[in-house]
Chains A and B, each alone.
Chain A
Amino acid sequence: MRWKYIFYIIGILSLFLGLAMIFPLLWGLYEKEQSFIPLAKAMGITLCVGLLLYRFCKSPKTEYITQREGMAIVALSWTAIGLLGALPFYLDDSFINFTDAFFESVSGFTTTGASILTGIESLPKGLLLWRSVIQWLGGMGIIVLSLAILPFLGVGGMQLYKAEVPTPVPDKLKPRIRETSVILWKVYALITLAEVLLLWLGGMSLFDALNHAFTTMPTGGFSTKNASVAHFNSAYFDWVILVFMVLAGINFSLHYQMLRGKPLAFWRDSECRFFIATIVGLSLVVSFNIYGSVYHSIVQAIRYGSFQVVSIVTTTGFATADYEQWPAMSQLILLLCMFLGASAGSTGGGMKCLRIMLCCKYCYRELFAIIHPRAVSHVKINGKTVPDDVMRSVLVFLALYMGLFALCSVLLAGTGVDFVTAFGAVAAAIGNIGPGFGMVGPVENYAQIPVMGKWLLIWCMLLGRLEIYTVIILVVPEFWKK
């Protein structure tokens, strides 16, 4: 492990983050509010930290980064960025302690969208914009962004890319990792822009339109309003945001193919079909379940039901209704949706549709093998056989995910929260969703969770965003052996 090199890269990423703080800072100046002072201080500190690391850990260009180093770089960078990103919150008066600021920051970068703020609307606009900007950066990945902009990583970039965007079957759109990253970011920025325009034209203020687009596309879920999207109480906004949540939950390489003039790409991809079918199916079930008992018009039932299902399946976490008042079946479906997650290669979290699909197909294959003991059959995706090692890693991922979920909920319950909250909060954090159940439902927030619980959830959010392996590997003793 070349620690100097690892910290050198973290230094570069910190510089990057410092520069990104300029946007909310300028907005704060434009609004003539006090928030630019904490932002300016935070920017200064971040740039200094970045420069110091860059200066003192400067190492020669290397030809390779080992897998182990790649994982360490990504996991440590995300922690460092979470810490530095918390500075604007911490230096402002709205946050009492550092844990809360760090929680908010990590929740932003991991695109969870869980907040500890009780009065969001009273926060200065500069800080609100910063909350949204960190979600937007975290959505496509800050390392993928730096790969796109800086040519410095080249070969080693592959290891970092794999550690930050761990899809079961990695697909490279272009021969070079840099071009792939550039394309992903371009597509991402383009769709975000489209959403800003649609929301703005629909009558949202530019500030709110920017913020909501910045948090929809990374499937984040921070809102500038206490009541989230419900605040606007407009069917138009609900549907626009719903459509963009679905887009954000689809593999971005399919968007790229579509933009290149292959509109059938969505339909040809079996994971995308599975994803859309799941959303439509579950939305209908939930809508019928809440029709009559909660809403008396079928249009309203579909509007609120499908919004909530999409919001949770894509792991965005916007709320238009308090689903804790819904019938048990709907609540249970939403809880299970938290595990499902969006497509691989999207900005969404969770277990990812692809893994669930592979797991189902694998189960079917096993059953098939019982009936035909001598049959030779393979698990296939899009007509291609899935190699055994990929299959194994998918199954191990699912096992680790469930195992860590169980362990963390027990630990969270140990900090004194109730049974439902422990379950809901951990599921929402590890799946990068945001609102959970119980004390952390869609109309409450995470402020009441004890300090230890918040640290646990911070860890869960990082676990979920980097898809388990990159983070969990750091606690394996073998990793640290020379």
Chain B
Amino acid sequence: MKIIIVGAGEVGFHIAGCFAHENKDVVVIDKDPEAIRRISDKIDIQTVIGSGSSPVTLEEAGVREAEILLAVTDSDDTNLVACLITDMLSSATKKLARIRDADYDAYQSAFRDHAPHIDTIINPETEVVKTIGRLMSVPGAVDVGEFADGRLKLIGIRMDENTRLTGVRLSRLPEILKDRQLLIAAVVRDEELIIPRGHDRLKPGDLVYFISEADKLIHTLEIFNKHTQPVKRVLIIGGGRIGFRLARQLEEKSIHTKIIEKRTDRCNELADRLSKAVILHGDGTDQGLLNEENISDIDLAITLTGDEETNILASLMTRRMGAGKTITKIGKFSYFPLMSAIGLEQVVNTRLSAINTILQHVRRGKVLSAMSIKGEQAEVLEALALETSDIVGKPLKKIAFPKGALVIGIMRGEDILVPSGESVIAPGDRIIIFAVREAIPRVEKILEVKLEYF
């Protein structure tokens, strides 16, 4: 499978890294020789220096044999043109463009109808807003993924010192939990992903990933001593594009929202476009302002300024001054390991959100949604079990599943099943698969439709 990535920025870099690990043929195009040098030093890929919107460059990168083209440069225009040119040269290639400007939002459907040369438009900012929404819906969760139209949730939660499950062997879980079943998919311990087995214990500080039905979530969270308190008052620091989108959504849900924004013009603009939210002109790290606005009564502070260092400091400050929870937006991937160390667990990242969305469109077979787990060490896929794929019609334990991959949920019609070794997948079921990075190519193979020749 050959994939061309236009743009060697952070999104391009990480997507390229993901695919190179899965032994796909990756070609990266970028104008900047420095960026190309950096990426080819680190990742085993082919590179082409040039503009991604130039037919000559695309031809040189071998666009005619490519299965997928990802246009993820910083410039929306370049991305659109790259898709257009690719369509001209090789219409069979699947084309994805990242578009960030909010102006395009209203025209999503027009793009679908009138721009057949772009298969999918990815807007990382809307994805971030969705991610924030998911994090808000599950208090205490570090990572939330939704599958089966939001009916199944994959939740990553940090183990506390003294819950009922701390230090318990996994094989004893059914005894303790009785009727409430809990399927633990993975544990991240000291930045390392472990697929736990029966004799493993859960330790405090572990990041535990489990799957749960949305309506039973509250009970499940109680096991981990996390109690739901509905979020009523939200403070958004940074009224940029994401802040605005989020505020508008919160308004719809009648959540009391305050936005702190530094630039006067932007404040005016926000005040024009939002009706209920309180727009405050000032600095998000200004103690006086925060005190004045009763920061200690705020349930959730979300820091979304363009400067990640400011976001981190503002989150720490609001937390210290009594805000219930914080969600911090950061840009650099290299800050991720640091964040849990300084106590900021709930983090969003536009690029990671973009990557998650891209993954879903790139996977073979009929993949409905995808989510990559901390540090891209593993992935969760929701896929449609196709009639002629290898996965259908046999008990799970008889399927040659690769090491490090497991089925964590099956949705048949309206029912949600917790799979066991005996479960048989029927055609048309939606299955949720957890897989470590090494196992992904083989999982894709299982999901793929077998071509049968008679």
Contact = CB atoms under 8 A, between A and B. Distances in A.
A107 B42 CA distance: 33
Interface in B1-53: 2, 20-21, 23, 25-27, 33, 40-47
Interface string A157-180: 111000000000000101111100
A451 B33 CA distance: 48
Contacts of A155: 20, 42-44
Given A174-B46, A175-B2, A175-B46, A158 B23 contact: no
A135 to B, nearest CB: 29
A69 to B, nearest CB: 13
A157 to B, nearest CB: 6
B395 to A, nearest CB: 32
B61 to A, nearest CB: 10
A263 interface: no
A178 B46 CA distance: 12
Contacts of A177: 44
Interface residues of B, number: 16
Given A175-B25, A176-B25, A158 B46 contact: no
Contacts of A178: 44
Nearest to A67: B41
Interface in A345-391: 387
Contacts, number: 33
A158 B44 contact: yes
A479 interface: no
Nearest to A176: B44
A176 B26 CA distance: 8
**Size range of the interface on A?**
10 to 19
B25 A174 contact: yes
A64 interface: yes
Contacts of B42: 64, 155
Which of A67, A159, A172, A178 gathers the greatest number of chain B CB atoms within 10 Å?
Answer: A172
A157 B26 CA distance: 16
A107 B290 CA distance: 75
Nearest to B28: A175
A327 interface: no
Nearest to B438: A61
Contacts of A387: 33
A175 B28 CA distance: 9
Which of B27, B40, B44, B46 gathers the greatest number of chain A CB atoms within 10 Å?
Answer: B44
Interface in B208-267: none
Nearest to A154: B44
A158 B40 contact: yes
Contacts of A157: 44
A154 B438 CA distance: 13
A176 B16 CA distance: 12
A387 B25 CA distance: 26
Contacts of A154: 20-21, 44
B440 to A, nearest CB: 15
Contacts of A67: 41
Interface in A59-89: 64, 67
B385 to A, nearest CB: 31
A176 B42 CA distance: 12
Interface string A126-156: 0000000000000000000000000000110
A175 B22 CA distance: 13
Contacts of B43: 155
Nearest to A158: B44
A174 B46 CA distance: 7
A155 B46 CA distance: 12
Interface string A229-257: 00000000000000000000000000000
Interface string A436-473: 00000000000000000000000000000000000000
B23 A176 contact: yes
A20 B44 CA distance: 28
Interface string A174-202: 11111000000000000000000000000
Contacts of A174: 25, 46
B310 to A, nearest CB: 31
Contacts of B40: 158
A154 B43 CA distance: 9
A388 to B, nearest CB: 10
A64 B25 CA distance: 19
Contacts of A176: 20, 23, 25, 44-45
B230 to A, nearest CB: 42
Contact of A172 (B2, B20, B21, B46): B46
Given A155-B20, A387-B33, A175 B41 contact: no
A404 to B, nearest CB: 27
A175 B27 contact: yes
Interface in A98-113: none
Given A155-B42, A175-B2, A176-B25, 5 more contacts: A154-B20, A155-B20, A159-B41, A174-B25, A176-B23
Interface of B: 2, 20-21, 23, 25-27, 33, 40-47
7 contacts: A64-B42, A154-B21, A157-B44, A159-B41, A174-B46, A175-B2, A176-B23
Question: What 5 A-B pairs come out closest when comparing CB atoms?
Answer: A175-B25, A175-B46, A172-B46, A177-B44, A155-B44
